[in-house]
Chains A and B, each alone.
Chain A
Amino acid sequence: AQSVTQLDSQVPVFEEAPVELRCNYSSSVSVYLFWYVQYPNQGLQLLLKYLSGSTLVKGINGFEAEFNKSQTSFHLRKPSVHISDTAEYFCAVQGGSEKLVFGKGTKLTVNP
């Protein structure tokens, strides 16, 4: 079975500051890793995913994440955030089946 831990439930930052949203996972099998974003009153939208290959994955809206197998982490980063990045971010892992296991989410608030 897989599990996902998002270490921060809320992250407040100022506009144009860098941000890192942390995600750790556990699994006994090889996994695919995902980050989703949920804007207010909207569905989940895929930000990026790691399936194989390069451990640094670039996604939409300037976000990127690095897969670290030894630390079982998949932290999400953005060098300079905008007000419009305010949303809830979910890390998810997919193991041997097509089921996704989600973390509890991190609410990112970007302040002016």
Chain B
Amino acid sequence: GAVVSQHPSRVICKSGTSVKIECRSLDFQATTMFWYRQFPKQSLMLMATSNEGSKATYEQGVEKDKFLINHASLTLSTLTVTSAHPEDSSFYICSARDGGGNREKLFFGSGTQLSVL
């Protein structure tokens, strides 16, 4: 089946630094990718939708200058948490929609646990 690779799986960084998370579709072209955030014991919350070659669409309350999303190719989207602070510590997970026949399926990465000290 379709595979989405997310890297890194875990990252610890100092407050004020920036962290980049990559999401790759390995065997299909993903015209649309989604970025979610999950706090402990909470739902996955959609942060933004990224479409290849265009600007991402952010959900209400998500700072676009804080969470930079780039979807430069049909197989890669990146999320950069800029000037990270402890409150940004969370589990981030991406998903990709197959632009081919699997329109009804979203494929998820394995997630990134971000800890900001």
Contact = CB atoms under 8 A, between A and B. Distances in A.
Interface residues of B, number: 24
A31 interface: no
Contacts of B36: 102
A51 interface: yes
Given A98-B32, A100-B106, A44 B93 contact: yes
Chief secondary structure at chain B's binding surface: strand
Contacts of A104: 41-43
A110 to B, nearest CB: 21
A77 B83 CA distance: 44
A18 to B, nearest CB: 26
Given A98-B32, A99-B49, A44 B43 contact: no
B49 A44 contact: no
A42 interface: yes
B72 interface: no
Contacts of B115: none
B105 A46 contact: yes
Interface string A37-54: 000011111100101000
Given A51-B104, A102-B44, A105-B43, A42 B110 contact: yes
Interface in B17-64: 32, 34, 36, 41-46, 49
Contact of A41 (B41, B108, B110): B110
Given A100-B46, A102-B43, 13 more contacts: A9-B41, A32-B104, A42-B110, A43-B4, A43-B108, A44-B95, A46-B106, A90-B44, A98-B97, A99-B34, A104-B41, A104-B43, A105-B43
8 contacts: A42-B110, A43-B6, A43-B111, A45-B108, A90-B44, A100-B106, A104-B41, A104-B43
